[in-house]
């Protein structure tokens, strides 16, 4: 019995030792987590307690010897070589989120809410100047969103860097684009403003290509961007040609010298949306409702001196009930509720499906403008909207894939 202990002990030391030239190091105390099995654990426990290291069964002895050899083999005489499981050649992809009936209904409602913002703006501009209207919009929206934050018990961070970024987002995602769009609508129809606003994904893709390392343009996206901007050229017209921006005869508002600049103001607003779309990805770990509440609050604070200096709202006449209802609609429905619904669809259907709302917003705005405001659009507006829609469809890619699948 004693001799068998000695033989087993010597055999164990021989197996767990490493031989690399003249220098040999013991590695029997090194154990990889992936190699800790019940058999191995029992073996080490027996060794520490002085019990026989190996069971009497020779087949088990050979299996255990092979396991120890794999676990304690050295690399270049110093480092332990770990046997790992084969890694997959490609990263596992999350399953694509599908659009069910509820998701489509939510998407249609969101398109009406955002398309309605141009409709409500058109009504409110009768009594309110641009900065005052935007101030009312973001202030009421921030109060509603903060109420939702408190209702859901969302924790509020205290990091100054977070609130500094929120101020930047509030300025370039609310204050600047909202003001530019509202000013633009003093010169162009709400439907045309909505069509130009649909170019936001085009700017987002270009800015992401420039500012990020992992969202570069491919051939399909580049082609979609070029087609989309070609639609913008169709709407606005080439430099030196006849402009179609003024409301004048076709939209029941008098033309002005600044009217040709109105489409470019809308495009500048969409450029701001594109910038904040890339910048805002740093808030990925934060609750989106909290982020929206912070942005609207920051823009409200920034707008107070602008509205006071430029518009002097205390000198304005009392708004009509229609204007008050329009302000409430653009704040509560087209901002607060739209934000909440937007993030709900994002969670339910995914970002790629949410992009579909871009196609629907101009349609909603045009139907509301034509049906209730008596607006009219020129044929080149509709053609330009179609060209922009084709560009967005190319960027999205799903129609192309379905067409290719059917033809193949």
Residue 1 lies in a domain: no
Is 144 strand, coil or helix?
Answer: helix
Hey, what are 169's tokens?
């987002």
Largest pairwise CA distance in the chain: 111
Write out the chain's pLDDT in tens, 408 residues: 555 555 455 555 554 554 444 444 444 444 444 444 444 445 444 544 555 544 444 445 544 454 544 444 444 444 444 444 444 444 444 445 667 888 899 999 999 999 999 999 999 999 999 999 999 999 999 999 999 999 999 999 999 999 999 999 999 999 999 999 999 999 999 999 999 999 999 999 999 999 988 888 899 999 999 999 999 999 887 554 444 444 544 444 555 778 889 999 999 999 999 999 899 888 877 899 999 999 999 999 999 999 999 999 999 999 999 999 999 999 999 999 999 999 998 888 887 788 889 889 999 999 999 999 998 888 889 999 999 999 999 988 887 777 666 655
Q: Which of 76, 101, 127 is where one domain is finished?
A: 76
Whether 190 and 238 map to the same domain: the answer is yes
- Claim to verify: residue 225 and residue 344 sit in the same structural domain: yes
Residue 53 shares a structural domain with residue 119:
no
Task: Check whether residue 277 and residue 349 sit in a common domain.
Answer: yes
Q: Domain check: are 193 and 275 in the same one?
A: yes
How many domains is the chain partitioned into structurally?
Answer: 2
242/344 same-domain check = yes
Q: Are 47 and 150 in the same domain?
A: no
Residue 218, in any domain of the structure: yes
Residue 97 lies in a domain: no
**362 to 97, 204, 243, 281, 324: CA distances (angstroms):** 25, 18, 21, 26, 24
12 falls within a domain: no
- Give the separation between CA 184 and CA 171, rounded to whole angstroms: 18
One domain for residues 190 and 320: yes
> Same domain for 181 and 55?
no
Same domain for 256 and 342, yes or no, is: yes
| Final residue before a domain boundary, out of 26, 61, 76 | 76
Q: What interhelical angle do 219-236 and 379-396 show, nearest 10? A: 170
The domain of 285 spans 110-407
Residue 95 lies in a domain: no
Q: Are 156 and 290 in contact (CB under 8 A)?
A: yes
Radius of gyration of the CA atoms of the chain, in A:
33
Cα separation, 350 vs 365, whole angstroms: 24
CB neighbour list of residue 197: distance below 8 Å, 6 or more residues apart: 118, 181, 266, 269, 270, 361, 362
Q: Are 230 and 391 in contact (CB under 8 A)?
A: yes
- Tell me whether residue 8 is in a domain: no
Do residue 57 and residue 169 come from a single domain? no
Flag whether 127 is in a domain.
yes
Instruction: Round to whole Å and give the CA distance between 64 and 69.
Output: 9
Domain membership of residue 11 (yes or no) is: no
Query: Same domain, yes or no, for 67 and 124?
Result: no
């Amino acid at each position: 019995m004693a001799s068998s202990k000695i033989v087993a002990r010597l055999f164990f030391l021989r197996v767990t030792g490493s031989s690399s030239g003249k220098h040999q190091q013991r590695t029997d105390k090194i154990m990889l987590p992936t190699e800790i099995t019940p058999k191995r654990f029992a073996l080490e426990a027996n060794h520490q307690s002085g019990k026989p290291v190996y069971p009497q069964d020779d087949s088990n002895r050979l299996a255990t010897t092979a396991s120890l050899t794999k676990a304690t083999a050295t690399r270049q005489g110093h480092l332990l070589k770990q046997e790992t499981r084969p890694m997959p050649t490609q990263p596992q992809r999350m399953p694509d989120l599908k659009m069910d009936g509820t998701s489509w209904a939510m998407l249609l409602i969101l398109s009406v809410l955002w398309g309605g913002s141009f409709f409500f703006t058109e009504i409110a501009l009768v009594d309110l100047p641009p900065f005052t209207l935007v101030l009312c919009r973001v202030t009421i929206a921030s109060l509603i969103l903060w109420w939702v934050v408190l209702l859901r018990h969302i924790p509020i961070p205290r990091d100054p860097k977070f609130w500094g970024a929120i101020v930047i987002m509030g300025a370039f995602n609310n204050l600047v684009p909202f003001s530019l769009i509202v000013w633009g609508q003093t010169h162009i129809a709400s439907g045309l403003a909505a069509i130009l606003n649909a170019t936001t994904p085009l700017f987002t893709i270009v800015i992401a290509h420039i500012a990020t390392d992992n969202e570069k343009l491919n051939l399909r996206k580049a082609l979609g961007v070029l087609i989309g901007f070609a639609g913008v050229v169709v709407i606005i017209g080439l430099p030196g040609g006849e402009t179609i921006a003024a409301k004048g005869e076709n939209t029941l508002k008098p033309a002005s010298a600044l009217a040709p600049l109105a489409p470019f103001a809308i495009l500048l607003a969409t450029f701001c949306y594109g910038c904040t779309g890339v910048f805002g990805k740093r808030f990925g770990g934060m609750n989106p409702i909290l982020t929206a509440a912070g942005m609207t609050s920051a823009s409200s604070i920034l707008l107070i001196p602008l509205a006071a200096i430029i518009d002097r709202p205390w000198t304005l006449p009392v708004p009509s009930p229609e204007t008050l209802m329009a302000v409430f609609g653009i704040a509560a429905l087209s901002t607060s509720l739209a934000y909440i619904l937007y993030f709900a669809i994002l969670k339910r259907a995914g970002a790629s499906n949410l992009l579909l709302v871009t196609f629907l917003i101009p349609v909603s705005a045009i139907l509301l403008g034509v049906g209730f405001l008596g607006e009219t659009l020129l044929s080149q507006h509709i053609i330009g909207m179609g060209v922009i829609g084709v560009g967005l469809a190319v960027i999205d890619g799903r129609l192309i894939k379905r067409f290719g699948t059917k033809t193949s």
